Structure 1
């Protein structure tokens, strides 16, 4: 866990005002405690991503919520897919073979359902 000033130092190329604005806009959602904001490693990674998208990719403040929303959806889908893969892996060999065969059938048949 990191305090706001530590995040600013770790991420670089971002000032306090911008980070506070991103928190107010809910682009980053650190915990708020008596001593101020507390950031997880995931929060710091998101701050870094926002800074890179803003500075390196020129994504403006109007587009940023759309891009972040799409990324959140993508990460959520990846997380659900990982759960599905783990659930299938926990099944008996016969079930795993059956699932693999069905996936091949759908891929070869072009069935995206």
Structure 2
């Protein structure tokens, strides 16, 4: 979606969106010199609005929250890769590895 569409969904001004992009809270794709946003950006935008609105989080706090969110997302991707690699191993290897993990 384009800038104006995202702004309409989030009910924000383009200058606010520009600030969020500058802060790297949202990182759109560049296509033909235009920014392209995705559904994940819309979800992040809603989170940002919740953080700065009802939750009263300041700009530094939003930075921390968005960085943590990005780290969690990256870790989930790595965990999925690890699980896929584990599934390719023999059953005995899988059992030995899983027996070492505390799932609590």
Shared fold, TM over 0.5: yes
Give me the CA root mean square deviation. Answer: 2.0
Partner residue, 1:111: none
Rounded Cα–Cα distance in structure 2 between residues aligned with 1:95 and 1:35: 50
- Structural mapping, 1:40-55, within 5 Å: 40-55=38-53
- 1:15-51: CA deviation from partner (whole Å, max 9, x where unpaired): 2221111112221111233463211222222222211
TM-score, with structure 1 as normaliser? 0.77
Are 1:31 and 2:38 an aligned pair?
Answer: no
Q: What is the number of residues matched between the two proteins?
A: 103
Are 1:11 and 2:13 an aligned pair?
Answer: no
TM-score, with structure 2 as normaliser? 0.82
Rounded Cα–Cα distance in structure 1 between residues aligned with 2:21 and 2:64: 16
Rounded Cα–Cα distance in structure 1 between residues aligned with 2:60 and 2:91: 50
Partner residue, 1:95: 93
